[in-house]
Amino acid sequence: MSLFRVRDDLPTLRAPVLIGAFDGWIDAGGAASGAAGRLAEGAETLATADGDALFDYRSRRPVLDVVDGTLTHLEWPQISIARRAEPHRDLLVLQGPEPDFRWRELAEQVMETAVRLGVVQWMSLGAVPAAVPHTRAVHVFGTASSEGLLLDDVEQGPQGLLRVPAAALSVIESAVAGAGIPTVGLYAQVPHYVGGAYAAGTIALLEQLGRHVGMDLALGDLPQDALDQRQRLDAAVGSDDDAREYLERLEAIAGQDQLPTSDELASEIERFLQQEAGGEEPPRLG
């Protein structure tokens, strides 16, 4: 049984780029899923996945609306591919919650769908927790399936061996690359002490993505959201001596080596996973 249902009446696509982001692992501060959601606003759906086969509904529960004591609507978690039509090319957005089951099967079928749709490039969007201050511009580093795919000012890395728990998105990217489609990943470094959505990370990903595909992607209210959050973070740091001291240490090392080493990134990811699993969590701001 196919996990992916593709429309029969597919439109003619122009040099489509398939952009993927999942809400879950490798989505610190919701930066990547926020960027994908922004891209998919008003887009037409081309394909949907079988949620019953992919999700554990006890961990990804559907949202129920109850109006005046009557059950009125269920919204189920959904993975889909939507088309954002642009003047010179199409952007296809694969988004949704990270699936719980059948990753390899899903990856194979996304790859087959990408080939069927004539996708010329895959782009993963992600965000990783990092020991960086919120007072600096968000740094975005990249991965690529071959040399020459990243823009000159996007650092490829981290260098050396990085061994971390894999994301479903990375499994899909590997399958797509195996089919001969060039793949690129863009990853924003999000301050690990920030709680909730981090608008500055979403902005950084959209700006780098726009440069990569040669488009000016509208940011809407994101700049104001980022400014409001910056002001809240500044106020929180200003009222706490320990937080202010920690921020000063981060500021002192910021910019020396913007691209994290494999060991540094693995350490931050391990800390992030421990927090997500209910381990001891340091105070978070924002």
CATH number of domain containing 52: 3.40.50.10900
Residue 283 lies in a domain: no
Residue 45 lies in a domain: yes
Q: In angstroms, what CA-CA distances link 175 with 80, 113, 196? A: 18, 11, 31
Residue 219 has pLDDT above 70, yes or no: yes
Nearest to 90 by CA among 175, 18, 196, 174: 18
Q: In angstroms, what CA-CA distances link 22 with 203, 234, 243? A: 17, 29, 31
Residue 193 has pLDDT above 90, yes or no: no
Residue 285 lies in a domain: no
Q: Which residue has the higher pLDDT, 111 or 271?
A: 111
Number of residues that make up the chain:
286
Note the pLDDT of residue 87. 85
Residue 129: CB atoms within 10 Å: 21
CA dihedral 191, 195, 196, 202 (to 10 degrees): -10
Structure tokens at 261: 């080493």
Q: Which domain holds residue 32?
A: 4-276
Residue 281 lies in a domain: no
Residue 284 lies in a domain: no
Q: Which residue has the tokens 């790859």?
A: 111
Q: Each residue of 19-39: pLDDT tens digit? A: 999 998 899 999 999 999 999
Strand, coil or helix: 88? coil
Share of the chain above pLDDT 70, in %: 88
Residue 214 has pLDDT above 50, yes or no: yes
Q: How many domains does the chain have?
A: 1
Share of the chain above pLDDT 90, in %: 69
Structure tokens at 235: 């106020």
Beta strand residue intervals within 121-199, DSSP E: 121-130, 140-144, 183-191
Q: Each residue of 137-186: pLDDT tens digit? A: 999 999 999 989 999 889 898 778 878 889 999 999 999 999 999 999 99
The model carries a pTM of 0.87
Note the pLDDT of residue 281. 45
Residue 286 lies in a domain: no
277 CB-near residues (< 8 Å, 6+ apart): none
The overall average pLDDT reported for the chain is 88
